[in-house]
Structure 1
Amino acid sequence: MGILSRTSYVIRSKINSILNRAEDPTETLDYSYEQMRDQLQQVKRGIADLTTQKKRLEMQKRRLEENVDKHNGQARTAVQQGREDLARKALEKKKTKMNQIEDLERQISELQSQQDRLIEQKNELQSRIEEFRTKKETMKARYEAAEASTTVSEAMTATGEEFEDVGRAIERAEERTQDMEARSAALDELHQSGAFEDVLSDKDSIDRELEEVAAGSGVDAELETLKAEMGEGESERASEPDAETEAEADLDDDLDLDDLEGGAVDEDVEAELAELQEEEN
């Protein structure tokens, strides 16, 4: 295969592929149906033209038949008048007209045969068109149902081109979000570690460390002072008599006496309670 032949073949294959993708089966079926209807109309026009020609020949035949009758009458009249020469001429014209009539009858018969064939073909074509119309509508319904089902399936599975674009957009947005989160975390870590200098301050990292040490020393000193103050207060309270302890001792003595007296009271209560329970039973 030569270069030109291969190039032509590739071009035709590409064009065919493009046409296949662009082709809408429903439109193709409708177009085919219209083409078949146009063919039917052409057949009908052909039948009409053929019938018109046949009618013209039949009209011409009738005129010739009228002439035959006229020449026959002329021959009879000439014989009655003793004009054999005129009678002979009339019969000759009659014979010529009868020959023409025979030719016309043969042509009319042929036209009639053609008309019959065309009518039969027209009926067959019309039946095929009706059958194709039924199949066309069925195929269109099936195609539209399949197209709708495919659209729903692509929407559910996100496999369509538009859904693929949406999926890629979501992936890109997620990647950018993750990058921004990672960058923000890295900046926070660097800021806490002091790796970035404060552009509004003239202190370096050593100055900041010294300030942190000084602040810690001040807190420790204040804590020791508080501990010392708290220790002196506890020693003074320990040297004073514990009035609360004496009150607690007196309260314990009172509770012991109440327990002795309460024992008898409890016995009376228990006895009365038992009597009430018996009455209820």
Structure 2
Amino acid sequence: MALIDRIENVIKAELNALLDKAEDPQKMAANLLLELEECLSECRATAASLICEEKALVRQAADAEKQIQQWQEKAELAISKDREDLAKAALVEKQKLATVITSKTEERTKLTEALAKLNEDATTLQAKIQALRVKQTQFKRHEASLAVRLKAKQVLHSEQMQSSTQKFEQLMCKVERLEAEVESYELGNNSTADAFKKMAQDEQLEQELQALKAKVQNNHAA
């Protein structure tokens, strides 16, 4: 079947390899996803058609079985009436129906095999679709991350950013200069207080020195 051949070709395709080679992985992934979903849809539609055929074969085989039983009964009736000619004719019809049943059984076997193959392919296609959707999500996240990083770099390297940085540095210089001026005023205002503090320290030091001399003299006198 052409459909099964097409599905097998899609399934055998290495999706990751195709995406790696693509100039636009996002577009390639979208096209692949569309093709996979179309194949899955066709696969399911074909499976539904085969299931209908299979049910028809089962019904036809069951009808043939009933007719075989009827011809068997007719053949027995003909024998009971000494009508071998009619009995033989009934048995011929019975054989024809048996042949029909055999044919229907063979057709049903082929349909069952085709349905099993389609079910297997549908499962594989569904898995590939899921994997591709995950890949698409990864692409989108990566693309969004790159866009944010690019915008950040553009802002950091923009003339406006550099100009703002320079203005901020100039403002900081002005603030530091003002702080220095304030500190210089405070140094001038505290000079008198520092002088009195130094005088008090010198007086305390002189007192300690005189006490030490007196102690030494007393020790020598003793």
TM-score, with structure 1 as normaliser = 0.46
Is 2:29–2:132's contact at 8 Å kept on the other side of the alignment?
A: no
1:38 partner letter = E
Give 2:146's aligned residue: 146
1:79 partner letter = I
Q: 2 CA distance for matches of 1:33 and 1:26?
A: 10
Is 2:12 the counterpart of 1:44?
A: no
1:151 partner letter = K
1:154 partner letter = Q
2:142 partner letter = R
1:40 partner letter = L
Give 2:116's aligned residue: 116
Matches within 5 A, 1:263-274: none
Q: 1 CA distance for matches of 2:56 and 2:104?
A: 10
Give 1:132's aligned residue: 132
Give 1:64's aligned residue: 64
Structure 1 residue 31, shift from structure 2 partner: 4.1
Q: 1 CA distance for matches of 2:36 and 2:154?
A: 36
Give 1:34's aligned residue: 34
Structure 1 residue 50, shift from structure 2 partner: 1.4
1:49 partner letter = S
Give 1:5's aligned residue: none
Structure 1 residue 131, shift from structure 2 partner: 1.5
Q: 1 CA distance for matches of 2:30 and 2:87?
A: 70
- What is the alpha-carbon root mean square deviation over aligned residues? 2.2
Structure 1 residue 124, shift from structure 2 partner: 1.1
Structure 1 residue 112, shift from structure 2 partner: 0.5
Give 2:76's aligned residue: 76
Q: 1 CA distance for matches of 2:34 and 2:145?
A: 23
2:98 partner letter = M
Give the SS at the match of 2:126.
helix
Q: 1 CA distance for matches of 2:45 and 2:117?
A: 14
Higher RCO (C-alpha 8 Å, min separation 6): 2
Deviations 1:65-122 (A, max 9, x none): 1111111111111111211111110000000110111011011101110110110111
Structure 1 residue 33, shift from structure 2 partner: 2.2
Deviations 1:247-275 (A, max 9, x none): xxxxxxxxxxxxxxxxxxxxxxxxxxxxx
Structure 1 residue 27, shift from structure 2 partner: 4.9
Is 2:64–2:98's contact at 8 Å kept on the other side of the alignment?
A: yes
Structure 1 residue 28, shift from structure 2 partner: 4.4
Gaps of 5+ in 2: 1-22, 161-222
1:112 partner letter = T
Aligned length: 139
TM-score, with structure 2 as normaliser = 0.57
Structure 1 residue 30, shift from structure 2 partner: 3.5
Q: 2 CA distance for matches of 1:121 and 1:45?
A: 13
Give the SS at the match of 2:82.
coil
Give 1:14's aligned residue: none
Q: 1 CA distance for matches of 2:73 and 2:112?
A: 32
Q: 2 CA distance for matches of 1:132 and 1:103?
A: 43
